[in-house]
Amino acid sequence: MMDSLYVAWRYVTWNRGKTLVLVASITLIVFLPLALQVLLDESERQLRTRALDTPLLLGAGGSALDLVMSSLYFDDELPVPIDMRAPAVIDASGLAYPVPLYVRFMARGAPIVGTTLDYFDFRGLRPAQGRLFAVLGEAVIGAEVAKRLGIGVGDSLVSSPDNLFDIAGVYPLKMSVVGVLADSHGPDDRAVFVDVKTAWVIEGLGHGHQDLAKTADSSVILQKDAGSVTANAKLLQYTEITANNIDSFHFHGSAAGYPLTALLVVPDDDKAEARLRGRFLDDDRYQLVKPDAVIDGLMENIFRIKQVIDAVIVIVAIATLLTIVLVFALSLRIRREEMQTIFRIGCSRMTTVRLLSAEILIIVTASAVLCAGLLWLIHVNSAALVQGLILR
Amino acid sequence: MISIQTLGFSYPGAGFRLQVPALAVAQGEKLAVIGPSGSGKTTLLNLIAGISVPDTGQVRVGKTTVSQLGDAARRNFRITNIGFVFQDFQLLDYLSVLDNVLHPYRISSALQLNRAVRRRALELLEQMGIAELRSQPSHALSQGEQQRAAICRALLPQPALILADEATGNLDPDNKQLILDMLFARVDDNAATLLAVTHDHELLPRFDRVQDFADFRGAAS
């Protein structure tokens, strides 16, 4: 057998091009469904883990999936917003405590999560460097954001404008990084956390500007009445919150109407959870969802799609295998003279079969090794791949 | 060495029929076989080698009646007792010169590849003047060098009989004489018998005897 393998090895290495095409075809056809399965398993694990760690989510009526994907994975799908009356409703129930979330803006490709310090306690997040935010304008960044952007405590981060062409819109806010979270191997690593009020400043609901009462420049004043002063666009708006200007920041309108994308609702116990869910069952304004149930539905759909993909892959695999058989059949025709020669020398038909089997064995083994290597790479990087490719 | 009696053979569905009433080749003899194309010279070599089986008569090589052996026995007999040299060399492109020479040992369990065989292969290559080319792929050699390598392959198992089918047919005149010199020398070294099919009448004087297929009455019908 070793002699057959040697001769076969010489043949397949001599015909490098053909061998590479065959190895690549077999590898791909085996690798693709297996890699897909590995990534789906990891996606399911990550989705379920996060969902199971989150008891309830409160949001406006609409897509429960958008609500979950936005609140748990900071997906860029924006759910219908709720307002600050929602936390009061939860508080008033006496059954749970709410953690507000406002996930709408981005900073250099990372989602800005407006929340409160309760979020860090709830998720068990601790700063690896620095501290958590304490005042308006401070940001705490996830480990991956720090690594990707090469920034840390003492650096600053500017929010991305909502619309590049809206020159009259809200200015980007320069936030100072006061902490970097320890790696949590989840979506929190890829987010920038600010106080929810800072998120409202980014939205333009709150702002800081030069004090009109103290300014000597009368050209910034549009109208001045007994009780109020109206400024024009020349008024200096602050784009960074510092110790010197923080006192000038203020919010207009009723705080109860300020937006949130969701509330993390942490019930006191199972009974409280059941009672809360009952209360919101027929609520017109809000929906209270169990994220793991939503993810179950999502996974069912994904696996239904995967079954279709599997069927397509099976068809492609059959076509590929037929092509490979054709390649070998044509190869045999081309090599008929060679086969006749070794037969005339004294080789048996079985030896011919053994030589061809050895060639197939080498090609299949090379494909298996390559496939195993690629699958190992996918496996060890599956968490990062899922976070980077699927749960972005 | 070779004894053929009332040999008859025809290919199924073909009008051709080979008939050889009698042919004897002595041990160590160098016999040239001539005849027009299609007269059955190559078929005769195939029958002697046991690649084909005669319809009638018998073929004896040494003490073995080849025509009475079974398939496997004929193959084993062929690879251990008969060396083939082909007109178009039939070397394998994907093997080196040395690997081509050793190839019969790799494709048959009747031959055992060991150090002594490797040493003998290198000696043969040395004697044929292509030892320095042993690691080259066979297609990189000139035609004369390729035929020398093919002769090494045929001679390595030290067969008692060499069958050469137009072995010099693809070579230029200088190479023809050189290859024939080398083939004759190696045949003499091994005390082997040579039966060579050729169309080249210039080479005939160098053989011990010439057998013309025209002498076989009723050879083709």
Q: Give chain B's mean pLDDT.
A: 87
CB neighbours of residue A336 within 10 Å: 9
User: Which pLDDT belongs to residue A33?
Assistant: 86
Give the nearest chain B residue to A2 (CA atoms). B106
Distance of CA A251 to the CA centre of its chain: 32
pLDDT tens digits, B56-91: 998 999 889 988 888 888 888 888 899 988 888 889
Q: CB of A3 within 8 Å of any CB in chain B?
A: yes
Buried b / exposed e over B147-172, threshold 16 CB at 10 Å, is bbbbbbbbbbbebbbbbbbbbbbbbe
User: Which pLDDT belongs to residue A111?
Assistant: 94
User: Which pLDDT belongs to residue A169?
Assistant: 62
User: Which pLDDT belongs to residue B219?
Assistant: 45
User: Which pLDDT belongs to residue A1?
Assistant: 64
Q: pTM here?
A: 0.71
**R_g (Cα) of chain B, nearest Å:** 17
Number of domains chain B contains: 1
- Spatial separation of the C-alpha atoms in residues B211 and A220, rounded to whole Å: 123
A346/B106 Cβ within 8 A: no
A18 touches A334 (CB < 8 A): no
**Residue B90 belongs to a domain:** yes
- Spatial separation of the C-alpha atoms in residues A270 and A379, rounded to whole Å: 36
Return all residues near A187 (Cβ < 8 A) that are at least 6 apart: A50, A72, A73, A74, A387, A391
User: Dihedral angle at the C-alpha atoms of A87, A88, A92, A96, nearest 10 degrees?
Assistant: 10
- Which ipTM was obtained for this model? 0.83
Residues of B in contact with A346 (CB under 8 A): 75-76, 78-80, 82, 104, 107-108, 110
Percentage of residues in chain B having pLDDT higher than 70: 98
B201 touches B119 (CB < 8 A): no
Residues of B in contact with A7 (CB under 8 A): 95, 99, 103, 106-107
- Spatial separation of the C-alpha atoms in residues B185 and B164, rounded to whole Å: 14
Give the nearest chain A residue to B112 (CA atoms). A3
pLDDT tens digits, B142-190: 888 898 899 899 989 889 899 998 888 877 877 788 888 888 888 888 8
pLDDT tens digits, A318-335: 988 898 888 888 888 888
Name the nearest CA neighbour of A175 among A233, A130, A136. A136
B20: left (phi over 0), alpha (psi -120 to 50) or beta: beta
CATH number of residue B74's parent domain = 3.40.50.300
Alpha helices in chain A (DSSP H): 2-14, 16-52, 64-73, 85-93, 118-123, 143-149, 196-203, 270-279, 291-334, 336-345, 349-380, 382-385
User: Dihedral angle at the C-alpha atoms of A301, A305, A310, A316, nearest 10 degrees?
Assistant: 180
User: Which pLDDT belongs to residue B174?
Assistant: 77
**Residue B220 belongs to a domain:** no
Residues of A in contact with B80 (CB under 8 A): 346
Q: CB of A6 within 8 Å of any CB in chain B?
A: yes
- Spatial separation of the C-alpha atoms in residues B1 and B62, rounded to whole Å: 5
Residues of chain A with pLDDT under 50: none
Amino acid at B166: E
B99 touches B91 (CB < 8 A): no
Buried b / exposed e over B47-77, threshold 16 CB at 10 Å, is bbbbbbebeebebbbeeeebbebeeeebbbb
A262 touches A79 (CB < 8 A): yes
**Residue B221 belongs to a domain:** no
Residue in A337, A338, A348 nearest the CB of B75:
A348
- Spatial separation of the C-alpha atoms in residues A361 and A13, rounded to whole Å: 13
User: Which pLDDT belongs to residue B221?
Assistant: 39
- Spatial separation of the C-alpha atoms in residues B57 and A70, rounded to whole Å: 92
Give the nearest chain B residue to A337 (CA atoms). B90
Give the CA distances from residue A23 to residues A367, A370, B90, B218, in Å, rounded to whole numbers and listed in that order: 5, 8, 29, 57
B103/A338 Cβ within 8 A: no
In the beta sheet, which residues pair with residue B4?
Answer: B23, B59
User: Which pLDDT belongs to residue B220?
Assistant: 45
Residue B191 is part of which domain span?
2-215
